[in-house]
Every structure is written in structure tokens, then in C-alpha cells.
Amino acid sequence: MLALLLLFLRDHLPCVTVRTGASPTHLITVPSARSRAGAHPLANLVGDRLRLPRITSTINPSYGPDDHDFHADWFTTVLPASRAPVHALVLEDTWTTGARTQSLAHALKVAGATTVAVVVLGRHVDPNNVPARQLLNAVASPVFNTTRCAAED
Ligand SMILES: [Zn+2]
């Protein structure tokens, strides 16, 4: 998973930067849906390889791990005291509905982040979900293509 992330960032971080207009200045991972002690496994995996300072967040306990709706108050983030613009790079290991990621991105913007870019490593798809079949058909061949840019229209 780390290799996949580093390959993607090597090849496509410039594409993300074009979209946001700035290189990321800070890194944050989407907090896990299941509470666990210590740092998020993705944060541990990435370590200091991206050489970006971290932003942390606190979680509103009102929303459970199985909640799949956007909540503007799900997360709270505190940006660095510096007045320099914050361009946040959000890393998410798995995208299911996007509710957690979008809620975190919202919290970052509310806290004052100038831009928020999200890089998702994996996508959870239920093959029995009829609308998901179109997505599964689209990625059937090739199964995975690291040269295809997620920032393409
Ligand atoms: Zn690209």
C-alpha cells in the first residue's frame, strides 16, 4: 500500500497541485471509523516520507463507525498558528461512501485551510450493489492502471 501511494504521488501529485493551485503544506489522515489506540495505521505507514507536518483532528463521538452521512461537525481540526496558507493533503486508506473524508475536508476548510486535496488508496465496492456494477465494469480491464490520472475529467 505504501508503494502504491508513493507511486501515485510521484506520478500524479503534480496533477493534484495543478487542481488546487499549490503544493501540499500539511498532511492529515482520515481518522479510523473504529476507535483504536495510537496513530492511524496509514499515518504510521507513511511516516515522515512526505516531509509534511501533520494536522490532527478530534472526532465528535455522536457519530458511530457505521454512519455513512456527511456531518459538518464530525471532525474538528486545529491548524498551525502560523499565518501561512495551509494546503492540506488528506490521505484515506479506503473510500466507502466518502462521508468521513468529506466531513474531514469540510472541517479543514472551516478551520481555515486554503485548499484541501484528498488522495484515496482504496475503494470499497459492494458487487451486489446495482449502481456499483458500472464502476466495476469500468475497472475490469485492466484491473488497475497507475498511469491513469484521477484528476482527469
Ligand atoms: Zn495525474
Distance (Å) from CA 148 to ligand 1 centroid: 7
Alpha helices in the chain (DSSP H): 2-20, 41-46, 99-111, 130-138
Distance (Å) from CA 82 to ligand 1 centroid: 30
Distance (Å) from CA 85 to ligand 1 centroid: 24
What CATH number does residue 132 fall under? 3.40.50
Structure letter (DSSP) for residue 86: P
Distance (Å) from CA 13 to ligand 1 centroid: 7
Q: Which residues pair with 76 in a beta bridge?
A: 58
| Residue 142, preceding peptide bond in cis (omega within 30° of 0) | yes
Distance (Å) from CA 58 to ligand 1 centroid: 31
Is residue 7 a part of any domain in this protein? yes
pLDDT of residue 18: 93
Is residue 11 a part of any domain in this protein? yes
Is residue 132 within 8 A of residue 126, CB to CB? The reply is yes
Is residue 147 a part of any domain in this protein? no
pLDDT of residue 35: 62
Distance (Å) from CA 151 to ligand 1 centroid: 6
Is residue 144 a part of any domain in this protein? no
Is residue 64 a part of any domain in this protein? yes
Is residue 78 within 8 A of residue 103, CB to CB? The reply is no
Is residue 47 a part of any domain in this protein? yes
Distance (Å) from CA 6 to ligand 1 centroid: 13
Cell, residue 61: 463521538
Is residue 27 within 8 A of residue 89, CB to CB? The reply is yes
> pLDDT 10s digit of each residue in the chain, 153 long?
888 889 889 999 999 999 999 999 999 999 877 766 677 788 888 889 999 999 999 999 999 888 999 999 999 999 998 889 999 999 998 888 889 999 999 999 999 999 999 998 877 778 888 888 887 887 777 666 777 787 776
Range of the domain at 113: 2-138
* Tally of domains within the chain: 1
Distance (Å) from CA 12 to ligand 1 centroid: 4
pLDDT of residue 20: 93
Distance (Å) from CA 11 to ligand 1 centroid: 6
pLDDT of residue 97: 85
Residues 104 and 88: their CA atoms lie apart, in Å, by 11
Is residue 17 a part of any domain in this protein? yes
Residues 42 and 112: their CA atoms lie apart, in Å, by 24
pLDDT of residue 144: 66
Is residue 99 a part of any domain in this protein? yes
Q: Which of 4, 71, 1 is nearest to 31 (CA)?
A: 71
Distance (Å) from CA 5 to ligand 1 centroid: 13
Is residue 97 within 8 A of residue 74, CB to CB? The reply is no
